[in-house]
Structure 1
Amino acid sequence: MKYSFIFCFCTLLLSHVAEAQMQLFDLKEVRLKEGPFKNAQDVDLKYILELNPDRLLAPYLITSGIPVKAERYGNWESIGLDGHIAGHYLSALAMMYASTGNMEVKNRLDYMISELEKCQQKNGNGYVGGIPQGKVFWDRIHNGDIDGSNFGLNNTWVPLYNIHKLFAGLTDTYHYTGNEKAKEVLIKLGDWFIELIRPLSDEQIQNILKTEHGGISESFADLYIITKDKKYLETAEKVSHLAILNPLEKKEDKLTGLHANTQIPKVIGFEKIGVLSGNKDMTDAAQFFWENVTQKRSVAFGGNSFAEHFNPTEDFSGMLKSNQGPETCNSYNMERLSKALFLDKNKVSYLDFYERTLYNHILSSQHPGKGGFVYFTPIRPNHYRVYSKPETSMWCCVGSGLENHSKYGELIYSHAENDVFVNLFIPSVLDWKEKNIYIEQSTKFPYQNSTDLVLKLKKSETFSMNIRCPEWAENFEISINGKIQKTEAKPSSYIMLNRKWKSGDQIRVTFKTSTHLENLPDGSNWSAFVNGPIVLAAKTSNKDLDGLFADDSRMGHIAAGKYYPLDQAYTFIGEKADYLSRLKELGNLHFRLDSLELEPFFEVHDTRYQMYFQNYSKEQFKEKHDLLIRQEIEARALEAKTIDKINCGEQQSEADHLYKGEKSNFGYEDGKFWRNTSSYISYQLLNKNKLGNFLDITVLEELKMDNISILINEKPAQIVAAENKVIRLNINKMEVVNIKIIAKNLINSPMFYQLRIVND
C-alpha cells in the first residue's frame, strides 16, 4: 500500500497543534453504538468469559509451588509457552472493562491480580511467571549461561516474550483500572528483572535479545512512566536490540527474512524510549521502519509477511502460494506502532494505515457469530482461514485477539487541550466529562458514505471540532445545522471547525468513494479491489474446509486443507480498467463481476475466498498461464507425496516441530531459510499413519557427511543416499520421528534447508 504524507491543516490549526500535543481519550470515555465493531466487541466479551481464569493461572501456581485450582489449558499453554495467554487476558479484561463497564470482567481481573500476588509472595524474590522450570532457567541466565537463538533461549521457548505478556497485562490493568495491587506486582517484577540481568555484560544482554522477546523494552519504559524512576528507562535502553535498531537508525532495510512480529514490538519500544529520552534517532528509526513495512511489505488489507517472516520487497510470490499469509499479531502490533507515531508526530497519514488495517484485518480476524480468532490470513486464491476455540486454542493470535476487539474506542476520537479530533467514522459516543462535552456519532459507514455528529453541552463553548478527511475520500463535504461549510478538504488532513458551539448542534459529513485495483507492492500482476478503505473479496467455495474451527493440535492454527490450483483462480485477461467498468453495484458494498460477487472482506467467513486477482494481456495469457499450470502440477505432486516437513530456520515451522539445539546459527539467503550447528539440533516429525518411507534432508552447500552424525529415535539413522545436496534416510514404519543431527569435533555442519517426510 502507498500512503501519502500530506499533513495539511488550516493556518489556525497548524499553530494550535504546535502548542498542544495530540492525546488519546480514556477508553471509558468512549462507548460503541450498534454496528460491526460493537458486534465484534460483544462476541469478544463472550469468548473472554468462556475462558477459565484458574486454568490460565495454573502455570503460575505450579511454578510457585502452590496447589492448582484447575488444570492448565493444553495446546501452547502446556508445551513451553505456559502462562502467556494469562498476560494477554489481563490486558483484554482491563480494556474490556474500560470499554464496557462490565463488572463481571472487573471481578475476574481483580481475582487474577490477587492470585498473581500470592504467587509472587510465595516466590519471595519478586518473580512471578508460568515458564516451565522457571527457577532453573532464570538462574542460568543470571549466571551468564546463555545460548540464544531466534525463538529458543537455552532451549526454552521465547521466555522473555512470554513474561513480557505479563508485564504488559499488569501495566494495562493499572493504566485502565487503577488497580494498585497490579502496580505493586509490576514494580516488584521489574525490580526482579533488573537484578536478574545486573551481572550480565552488554554483550551478554544482546545475546539474550537474539531470541524473540516481545516488547520487554517498552515494558520498562512504561515502568518509568508510572514511577518516574530513571532506572527503568535505563533498563529499557539496555534491553533494546541493537542488531535491529542500528540499521534502522541508518535508514537501512535489513528486514527481509526476519521473523516479522519479533521485530515490531522492538520498534514500538524504540519509539516510546525515544520520546521519553528525547532520542530523535530512535523515533526516526521507528518512523523509517513503519514507512518500510506499510509501503513496501504490506498487502491491501494491512497485513504483512508470510509464514511469519518478512518476504523480499520485490517478490510476494511466496505469500501468494502459501497457506500461511499475514499473521494477525503483526497487524495488532502495527496498529499499536501507528497509534504511537500518530500521537508523537501529529501526522494524519498514520491514521490511513490504521483505519485500513482496522477494518480489513483486525475486524475480519474474529468470527462475527461464533467467535474465534484467526492466526494466518492467506492471500492465496481459493484458500481459507481457521478460527480458534476457547477450550482448544492457545496461540499468540488468540492472546492478541482477545485484546484487539476490546479497544475499538481507542482512536475514534483524540484531543489537544480543549479541541476534539474525529479520526474514524464508527458509531459511538464520546463523553468528555472533564470539559463537559458529549458527542454522539451515528453512521452506517462503510455501507453509507456519511456520518452525523450531535453535540450535547452544559453551556455554549468555543473550541475546535476537527474532522479527518481520509486519503481515500472524494467530494468531502461538511454541513453544520444543515448549512454547507466552505472548506478546503485535502487528503490525509483535518478540517477545522472553530466556533462557539451550543448544545444540539449537528455536524453532517458526506463523501464519495470509488473502487480501484491496488497492486501488490512488488509490482507483479496481482491486484485487489478496494473501495475507499474497504478491501473486497469473493467467496469461492465452502468445500474442503479442513479444521475450520481448530482442534488442540500444535499446528491447528494453519488452514492445512487442500490447495486449489492457482491456475484455476479467476483471472483478468486484457485491461484491468475493463474489469472495473464491468462491476455492477448490488448495494451494501456488494458488486457483481461475472460469476463472482465481491463484498467487504470483513464479511467473508466460513469459506474459501479470492482477494487477489492475476492480470494478463491477451498476448501474455497462453504462455504465462501454461507456465503457471506446469508449476502448479509440480508443486501439487511434491505436496501429495509429503507427509510432514520442516523449513529449517523458519521460526514457526521449527517451533511446531519441537526444535532444540546448541551452538546453532540460522539465516536467510537467496529466498531460503537455513540452520546449522557446531553442536546439535533436533526436531520431531510425525509420519501420519506411517505413510512415509523416507526422510529427505536438503542442504544449501556442499554435503560433507564426515562432519555430522544423525540419530533417529536415538539410534543411528539408516542412510539410503547422500547426493546432490540431499540426504535420504529410511523411516519405514515409524510414526514419530525424532531426529538429532550432531556436528563432529565442533565443526559447523552444512546449512540445513528443509526436512521432508515423503512416501516414495
Structure 2
Amino acid sequence: MARPLSRRTLLRTTALAATATAVSAAAAGRATAAPGAPGPSTNAVGAAATAFTTVAPSAWTVRPFGLEEVTLGPGVFADKRRLMLDHARGYDVHRLLQVFRANAGLSAGGAVAPGGWEGLDGEANGNLRGHYTGHFLTMLAQAYRSTGERVFADRIGTVVGALAEVREALRRDPAVLSVEGRFGRAAEQVRGSHRYVDLPAAVLDGSPALTLSAWVRPAHGAAWARVLDFGDDTTRYLYLAARNANGVPRFAVTTSGPGGEQGLDGTAPLPLDRWSHLAVTLDGTAGTLYVDGTAVARDTALTLTPAALGPLAHHWLGRSHFAGDPVFAGAFEEVDVFSRALTGAEITELAGRRAVDASTGRGDLASYAFDETSGGTFADASGRGLDATLRRTWGGPSHPGFLAAYPETQFIELESMTGSDYTRVWAPYYTAHKILRGLLDAYLATGDDRALDLASGLCDWMHARLSALPAATLQRMWGLFSSGEFGGVVEAVCDLHTLTGKAEHLALARLFDLDRLIDACAADTDVLDGLHANQHIPVFTGLVRLHDETGEERYLTAAKNFWHMVVPHRTYGIGGTSSGEFWRARGVIAGTIGATTAETCCAYNMLKLSRTLFFHEQDPAYMDHYERALYNQVLGSKQDRPDAEKPLVTYFVGLAPGHVRDYTPKQGTTCCEGTGLESATKYQDSVYFAKADASALYVNLYSPSELTWAARGVTVTQTTRFPEEQGSTLTLGGGPAAFTLLLRVPSWATAGFRVTVNGRAVPGTPAPGGYFGVFRTWRAGDTVRVLVPFRLRVERALDDPTLQTLFLGPVNLVARHPSTELLRCALYGNAGLSGDLLPSLTPVAGKPLHHTLDGVGFAPFAEGTEEPTHAYFRRSEPRVVFGTSDSGVANPARGDGVTLLDEIWAGAPFGSRSALGTRVRATVADWVAAGLLGGADGDRVVRTARNASYAP
C-alpha cells in the first residue's frame, strides 16, 4: 500500500517533473506558422478531471494549469467572480454544517440550515442534504487558489475541522448533549440526530396504575413525535406524543393497534423551545392528561390498564414504534414513572419543582433527572437500577470512515430498491461525491491532512459497502433514476487514488460501472433518449479518469462517442442540454424548447467532460463547445447583482419565448446552485493548457488573464475586452524560451483570423476550427496580436430550420421582449457581400454587443438580468429582397424548410457583386428546374439582385 504523499512532496514532485520534461530553448528566429499545427488527433492520453489534480499521470500529453497559475484580468469573468467571492467571504459556513452536526448529535450552536434542498425540511424530506456543503468547500478551495486570500483558507479549516468532529461522533456510541434545563441540566435530542433513550424492559413492572411525568422542551412541531412509547410493535403499546395530527398532546393505550386506541387529547399545542410539563395518570378506568399542572383531558371509561399490555419489548423516550413517525426533537428533563395515580395536587406540585424536592419524591418505577454531562447512559434514581441508554434509531455506521449529513439508512435501502422514489432515497452516492470532491479540493488547496484523511476514509467506507454486493445489485442500483445517481464520484475516487495509491480505491472506482450504458456508447449506439441528463454526463468524465488509471480503452471510447451524441445533436445554441432534466431523441431541438430546458448542471458537467477529453485528443471541437457554453449559458446563469444569502444561479434556463430566468430556484441550494458556486470561481481553468513536455502552449480562450508558466520561466499576459473586442494581445515576460504558441481559431471565425508578432504578420492560413501555431524563441516584451473579426450569423434548430438563434462571433444575442409567442425576424434585407447579417441590426450607442432589430432589443445571453428573453425566433423572410430592393416575389421554401434566400446566401462570402449574381442565377435555375419557382418570378429575382446595392 502506498503512503499518501504530503502536499509539499506533491508540489515538489510536480515541479521536478515539469523541469525534467521541459524542452531546451531553440535558437531565436523569425516567427513562422508551425508545421503540423494540431487538428483532431486519435492519441489517447491521461487527463486531469479538475483543475485541482496535482499529480499528473505520466501518459498525459497535455496538462492544465492550476488556478493559482492563471490570474483573471478585468472583464466580465472577473466581475461575475467578484460577486461570488463576496458571497463566499460572507456566508456563515456553520449553517452548512448544521445538518452534519445534527446527524452526529452535536450542537449546531444555533446555526440554521440554508433551506431549499439543504436542510431537514427540504424537498423529499431533505434527502439530499450535505451535497451543498461539498460544493461550497470546492468553491472555497478554488477561491483560495485563485486569490490567495487567507479568509478562504480559514473557512476551509472551519468546515474540515467540523466534519472531522462529526465523523468522530458518528463512529462512536452516541453521547449526551447536555444543555441548560428547567431546573438544572437536560439532555438535548437534536433534530436530525435520530437519537432516543432506551429504557430497560422492566419499567412498568405489570403495574395496574400509573403516572407518567416529564419535562420536555419541543424544538419542532412535527406530528406524532413521541415523548415516550412503551410497546412491542404497532399493535400493543402505550404512548405519550407531544403533538398528534391536530397539533396537541395525546396519550393512548391499545392492544389492537391504532383502531383500538383509548386516548386522551390535549386542547392546545405545546409551545416550541419552551419547557412544558406533561403528565398522565391511570387508575383503573380513569385516565387524566395534564399540561403544566392543569388537567386538560379526562376519561373515566377506559378499559385498558398498563397491566393489560403484559410484558413489553421496548420502552423508549423520543422514538415511535411507527417507522414513519419522526424522532422527538428537543430536550428531556425529569422523567418519572410512578406505580400509582398521583392526585391533581401532586401533579401541580411536580409542574413547579424537581421530583426530588416534591412531596411525591422520585418515581418509584423509574426516575431520570438527565443531569449527566457526558457519556451515553442516564442514571435511574428510583432505586431499581434501571439505567437508560442513549441510542440511534439506525444503530451506527458499518465502517468508521462513514461521513454524511443523514444516517446510513439511505445507502442501505438503495441496495434493495427496484424502483425510484426520491422521498425515500435521493441519490446518496451523489451526495457522497460532492462531499468527497470538496474534501479533495480542500486538501489540494490548503494541505490540510484532515481533509485527505476524511476523503480516504469515506472511500474506504464506500468500498466496504459496495464490494460486498453482487454485481447484479450494483447494476440495478446505478440504473435507477435519481435514487441511483452518483454524480462524478468515479472521477473523484480516481483523483484520490493518485494521492493514496490504495488498491481499494481503484477497485471502488470500478464498482460504479453501468455496463449497459458503457457498452452501448463504446459501440457508438445512441441510447440517450429518455435518460436523465445530469445523472449521466459526469459518469463519462469518470470513465475517462478510470481509463487513465486502468488503461482500458472501452472507457475512453465510450466517453468520446457519448460526447458526440450530445454535441451537437442534443445541444441548444447557448451550449446547454436537456429538457426537463432529460434527453429526448437525437436531433430534436425545436421539439424540446420550453421553460425547463438547459439544466445548468448539465452545462457545468459538459464543460468538464470536454476539457477532460481534450487532454486525450486535442480536437478543437471540444474547445469550441467549451467556449460556447462558458461564454453563454454558464456566464448567463449567474445574476449580475450581489446577495449575501443566495449565490443567484439558475437551475433551468428556459428557452421558451419570453422566459424570465429564476436565479433563486426552489428556495436555493439546488444542485445547479452548487455547481454555480464552482463555475463562478474557476472561469480561468481552461484559458491555457501546455503540452506535457512543455514544447507548446495552447491558448484556448481569449480572456483577460496572466499565466505564470514556471516550467518555461515565462509569463503570458493577455489583454483584451473580448468579446466586446474582436481580438486579443498577448505579451510575453521572462524567457528566453523556445516553444510553439498554439492559438485557437474558433470554428465561427470565418471572417478572417490574423496574427502579428511584434507588429509583423505571421504567414499562414489559419483554418476555422483548428489551432494556428507560432514557433519562435520567445523573449520578454514579445507581443502577439490576434485579430478575430466577428460575423453575425444564425444557427438553425436541427429539426426545424426556421427556428433560429443569433450569434455575433461567440456571443449568443437574445431578444428582450415580453411576448410569450415566438418573434418573427427577417435578416437578409441588408446582408452584405460577405454574408454578414450584421447590417440588418442597429447598434445601441454606448452598449457594446447590444443591437435593435425592428424596434426589438438584442443583448448578450451572458448578461444576468431578469428581463424576458427570446433565445430562439422564427425566421420569416416572406419575399425575396436584396439590399433595399424588393423583387415582389414570395420567398419559396423546400420541404426541409430551407428557402431560396437561404440557399443563395449559403454561398457567401462573395468577392464581388458579379460573384453574387452568378450564385443567384445558378440557384434560381435549380429551383425553377425543380418546380419550386416559376420562370417569370425567377427572372424578377435575378434582375433585382443585379440592380441592388450591397454592404461590403
- Name the TM-score class by shorter chain: 0.7 to 0.9
Work out whether residues 791 and 838 of structure 2, in 8 Å CA contact, stay in contact via their aligned partners in 1: no
Aligned equivalents of 2:101, 2:402: Cα separation in 1: 9
Aligned-residue sequence identity (percent) comes to 27
Correspondence for 2:132 among 74, 82, 85: 85
Corresponding residue for 2:602? 330
Q: Does 1:287 align with 2:560?
A: yes
Which structure 2 residues correspond to residues 367-382 of structure 1 after superposition, within 5 A? 367-370=639-642, 372-382=648-658
Aligned equivalents of 1:461, 1:342: Cα separation in 2: 25
Corresponding residue for 1:122? 169
Correspondence for 1:219 among 458, 479, 492: 492
What is the CA distance between 1:492 and its match in structure 2?
Answer: 2.3
Correspondence for 1:358 among 630, 634, 641: 630
Over 3 Å counting, the alpha-carbon distance change for 1:397 and 1:501 in structure 2 is: same
Q: Deviations over 1:282-340 (max 9, x none)?
A: 111111111111110001000011111112234334532x2112110000000000000
Could you say what secondary structure the match of 2:99 adopts?
helix
Could you say what secondary structure the match of 2:596 adopts?
coil
What is the CA distance between 1:456 and its match in structure 2?
Answer: 1.1
Corresponding residue for 1:584? 842
Q: Deviations over 1:577-622 (max 9, x none)?
A: 8776522334622222111121211125121011101135649999
Aligned equivalents of 2:602, 2:824: Cα separation in 1: 29
Corresponding residue for 1:107? 154
Number of residue pairs the alignment of both structures matches: 583
Which structure 2 residues correspond to residues 286-435 of structure 1 after superposition, within 5 A? 286-320=559-593, 322-370=594-642, 372-388=648-664, 392-416=667-691, 417-418=693-694, 419-435=696-712
Aligned equivalents of 2:466, 2:60: Cα separation in 1: 39
Aligned equivalents of 2:715, 2:684: Cα separation in 1: 15
Work out whether residues 275 and 344 of structure 1, in 8 Å CA contact, stay in contact via their aligned partners in 2: no
Aligned equivalents of 2:405, 2:828: Cα separation in 1: 56
Correspondence for 1:462 among 702, 725, 738: 738
**Residue type of the alignment partner of 1:422:** V
Q: Deviations over 1:142-173 (max 9, x none)?
A: xxx51044563x92211111111101111222
Corresponding residue for 2:762? 485
Aligned equivalents of 2:827, 2:63: Cα separation in 1: 49
Could you say what secondary structure the match of 1:490 adopts?
coil
Aligned equivalents of 2:161, 2:810: Cα separation in 1: 43
Could you say what secondary structure the match of 1:199 adopts?
coil
What is the CA distance between 1:392 and its match in structure 2?
Answer: 4.4
Aligned equivalents of 2:427, 2:510: Cα separation in 1: 20
**Residue type of the alignment partner of 2:503:** K
Work out whether residues 174 and 180 of structure 1, in 8 Å CA contact, stay in contact via their aligned partners in 2: yes
Over 3 Å counting, the alpha-carbon distance change for 1:621 and 1:407 in structure 2 is: farther
Aligned equivalents of 2:661, 2:498: Cα separation in 1: 39
What is the CA distance between 1:234 and its match in structure 2?
Answer: 2.1
Q: Which has the higher helix share?
A: 1
Could you say what secondary structure the match of 2:80 adopts?
helix
Aligned equivalents of 1:108, 1:392: Cα separation in 2: 24
Aligned equivalents of 1:594, 1:21: Cα separation in 2: 51
Work out whether residues 410 and 428 of structure 2, in 8 Å CA contact, stay in contact via their aligned partners in 1: no
Over 3 Å counting, the alpha-carbon distance change for 1:205 and 1:502 in structure 2 is: same
Aligned equivalents of 1:486, 1:618: Cα separation in 2: 44
Corresponding residue for 1:75? 116
What is the CA distance between 1:464 and its match in structure 2?
Answer: 2.1
Correspondence for 2:730 among 453, 464, 469: 453
Q: Deviations over 1:392-445 (max 9, x none)?
A: 411111100100010111111111122322111100111123432111110011
Aligned equivalents of 1:94, 1:621: Cα separation in 2: 60
Corresponding residue for 1:161? 430
Q: Deviations over 1:456-496 (max 9, x none)?
A: 11x42222222111111232111111111112211222222
Corresponding residue for 2:869? 609
Q: Given the two structures, how large is their TM-score scaled by the length of structure 1?
A: 0.73
Aligned equivalents of 1:101, 1:148: Cα separation in 2: 48
Q: Which has the higher contact order (CA 8 A, sep 6+)?
A: 2
Work out whether residues 565 and 586 of structure 2, in 8 Å CA contact, stay in contact via their aligned partners in 1: no
Work out whether residues 828 and 840 of structure 2, in 8 Å CA contact, stay in contact via their aligned partners in 1: no
Aligned equivalents of 2:784, 2:167: Cα separation in 1: 53
**Residue type of the alignment partner of 1:376:** F
Work out whether residues 650 and 664 of structure 2, in 8 Å CA contact, stay in contact via their aligned partners in 1: yes
What is the CA distance between 1:139 and its match in structure 2?
Answer: 4.6
Over 3 Å counting, the alpha-carbon distance change for 1:328 and 1:138 in structure 2 is: closer
Correspondence for 2:812 among 535, 544, 569: 535
Aligned equivalents of 2:756, 2:876: Cα separation in 1: 45
What is the CA distance between 1:191 and its match in structure 2?
Answer: 0.4
What is the CA distance between 1:271 and its match in structure 2?
Answer: 1.5
Work out whether residues 127 and 424 of structure 2, in 8 Å CA contact, stay in contact via their aligned partners in 1: no
Correspondence for 1:570 among 802, 811, 823: 823
Correspondence for 1:38 among 78, 84, 89: 78
Higher alpha-carbon Rg: 2
**Residue type of the alignment partner of 1:455:** L
Q: Does 1:439 align with 2:439?
A: no
Work out whether residues 539 and 604 of structure 1, in 8 Å CA contact, stay in contact via their aligned partners in 2: no
Q: Given the two structures, how large is their TM-score scaled by the length of structure 2?
A: 0.59
**Residue type of the alignment partner of 2:641:** G
Q: Deviations over 1:94-153 (max 9, x none)?
A: 111111112111110111111111111222243444443x13334556xxx51044563x
Over 3 Å counting, the alpha-carbon distance change for 1:576 and 1:340 in structure 2 is: farther
Work out whether residues 520 and 526 of structure 2, in 8 Å CA contact, stay in contact via their aligned partners in 1: yes
Q: Does 1:247 align with 2:520?
A: yes
Which structure 2 residues correspond to residues 593-672 of structure 1 after superposition, within 5 A? 593-603=853-863, 605-616=865-876, 618=878
**Residue type of the alignment partner of 2:538:** P
Work out whether residues 589 and 797 of structure 2, in 8 Å CA contact, stay in contact via their aligned partners in 1: yes
Work out whether residues 314 and 523 of structure 1, in 8 Å CA contact, stay in contact via their aligned partners in 2: no
What is the CA distance between 1:185 and its match in structure 2?
Answer: 0.8
Corresponding residue for 1:60? 100
Aligned equivalents of 1:572, 1:463: Cα separation in 2: 48
What is the CA distance between 1:574 and its match in structure 2?
Answer: 9.3
Work out whether residues 100 and 166 of structure 2, in 8 Å CA contact, stay in contact via their aligned partners in 1: yes
Over 3 Å counting, the alpha-carbon distance change for 1:197 and 1:518 in structure 2 is: same
**Residue type of the alignment partner of 2:680:** H
Corresponding residue for 2:10? none
Work out whether residues 104 and 169 of structure 2, in 8 Å CA contact, stay in contact via their aligned partners in 1: yes
Aligned equivalents of 2:149, 2:166: Cα separation in 1: 27
Work out whether residues 842 and 853 of structure 2, in 8 Å CA contact, stay in contact via their aligned partners in 1: yes
Over 3 Å counting, the alpha-carbon distance change for 1:460 and 1:317 in structure 2 is: closer
What is the CA distance between 1:178 and its match in structure 2?
Answer: 2.9
Which structure 2 residues correspond to residues 265-276 of structure 1 after superposition, within 5 A? 265-276=538-549
Q: Deviations over 1:353-374 (max 9, x none)?
A: 0001000010111012235111
Work out whether residues 119 and 128 of structure 1, in 8 Å CA contact, stay in contact via their aligned partners in 2: no
Structure 2: 5+ residue stretches without partners: 1-32, 44-58, 120-125, 172-398, 832-836, 880-888, 894-952
Q: Deviations over 1:10-66 (max 9, x none)?
A: 435559x98971110111011101100001111111122332211101111112222
Over 3 Å counting, the alpha-carbon distance change for 1:315 and 1:621 in structure 2 is: farther
Work out whether residues 697 and 742 of structure 2, in 8 Å CA contact, stay in contact via their aligned partners in 1: yes
**Residue type of the alignment partner of 1:449:** Q
Structure 1: 5+ residue stretches without partners: 1-8, 542-563, 625-760
Corresponding residue for 2:417? 147
